[in-house]
Structure formats: C-alpha cells, structure tokens
Amino acid sequence: MKENQIIVIDDSHDIGRLLLHCLQDREDSNILYFQDPASALDFLTFNKFKGNKWLIVDVMMPKMNGLEFIVRSKEIDPNYKVCILTGNRDEKTIEDAFSLGICEYIFKDKTKDEIIWKINSLIDNEVKQTPEFIELYEVSEVINSYKVKNRIGKKLILETLEELPIHSLVNIPGPKGQGHLYRVEKCDLLDRGALITCRGIKNAS
C-alpha cells in the first residue's frame, strides 16, 4: 500500500501534467490531478485513502479560488495537508492561506527543480527537520542559515548571513512543519550578516 496520496488541483493543464510527470518517480505515493476544483471536491468526499493525504493547490482558478477550495476540503476531511503553488504574491492572500493551516506557499516562478524539491521535502518531512529554512515572500529568496538570538512575546530576533528587506514576510516552520509568519521590522548590519527584528503576524498552526 502506498504511504502518500498527492492530489494536484490547478486549472493550468501544463502545470498539472508537469507535476504528474515530475512526482511519478515517488514509489511511495499515488499522484492524481484535477483541473476543476469542484471535481476534486467530489473525489475527496468519497476518498477512502488511509495514508498521508496531500493537496497541491493553485490560488487563482476561475470557478473556485484556492482558499475557498482549502476551506471546503478541510470540511470534508481536516487531515489533508495543503501546499499552495501559485503566482499570487498578494500579502493578504498569503496571510489568509497560512491562517487556514497550510504547510507551505510556493511561487510558480521558481525553477521546476526548486518546486519539486520543496514538495518532496514537505512530504518527506525534510523541512521540519531543517530549521535553517526561511522563505522570503517579497524577494523570493531562501536564506540557508540563521540563529534565533531572542524571543520577546511575538517578537523574534534573528542573526542571519544576509540582509532582509524591511516589511518583508518570512515563514519559519514550527515543530510540526507548519509555518509561523513574521514581518521584518528592523535590520541591523553586522560584520558578517545582519541582526533581524521581526514580529509574528500569523500563527499558521
């Protein structure tokens, strides 16, 4: 029996075919693709799969947007783990998505290899085992090393190897792999790197 079921929901047939092709090498997973969110919901209603269930969801779809789909899918079964794959960089949309408990928000303008690596890492639990992982939504970069210097309430002080833009959003995975969203308030340059002060704005868990 397969350990994972990965269901892709995207109105772009090209994206759907790409993910099906790139993820089919996972011998531990069943891969399914739906172009129509309503058809996907019909499938979820009668889905009897007992393993780990993943949804890879686009945001901007004509008949039902991705956030509405996530809400309705969790009404059917709250155990679905969700990763968003989209070109939508709207800050409010990102905050709303994490408030729904998604595990990751991936931009489509990343390379194919980056997208597949992130999806595989989520499914294989590599992200939650790798604390040195920050997604910068506004500049679309990955910072590979940081140290938490202090926590004061919702405020977090990080020492990083690179400067982060003021007002940018960062997603720091928590112990269960789901993201904690922070906004950068201050960036002080050090001899090697920077001291970043940020404040939590959403707890996605």
Q: Is the pTM of this model over 0.75?
A: no
User: Are 177 and 81 members of one domain?
Assistant: no
The predicted structure's pLDDT at residue 174: 60
Residue 148 pLDDT exceeds 70: yes
Q: Which amino acid is at 52?
A: N
The predicted structure's pLDDT at residue 70: 97
The predicted structure's pLDDT at residue 44: 96
What is the number of domains present in the chain?
2
Q: pLDDT per residue over 15-51, tens digit each?
A: 999 999 999 888 899 999 999 999 999 999 999 899 9
CATH number at residue 84: 3.40.50.2300
User: Are 94 and 172 members of one domain?
Assistant: no
Q: pLDDT per residue over 72-103, tens digit each?
A: 999 999 999 999 999 998 888 988 888 898 98
Phi, psi of 22 (to 5 degrees): -75, -25
Q: Which of 99, 123, 147 is the last residue of a domain?
A: 123
Residue 188 pLDDT exceeds 60: yes
User: Are 100 and 161 members of one domain?
Assistant: no
Domain ranges, residue 153: 134-203
Q: What 3 state SS string does the chain have?
A: CCCEEEEEECCCHHHHHHHHHHHCCCCCEEEEEECCHHHHHHHHHCCCCCCEEEEEECCCCCCCCHHHHHHHHHHHCCCCEEEEEECCCCHHHHHHHHHCCCCEEEECCCCHHHHHHHHHHHHCCCCCCCCCCEEECCCCEEECCEEEEEEECCEEEEEECCCCCCCCEEEEECCCCCEEEEEEEEEEEECCEEEEEEEEEEECC
User: Are 116 and 140 members of one domain?
Assistant: no
Mean pLDDT of the 116-132 span: 65
User: Are 81 and 153 members of one domain?
Assistant: no
Q: Which of 91, 123, 155 is the last residue of a domain?
A: 123
| Residue-level length of the chain | 205
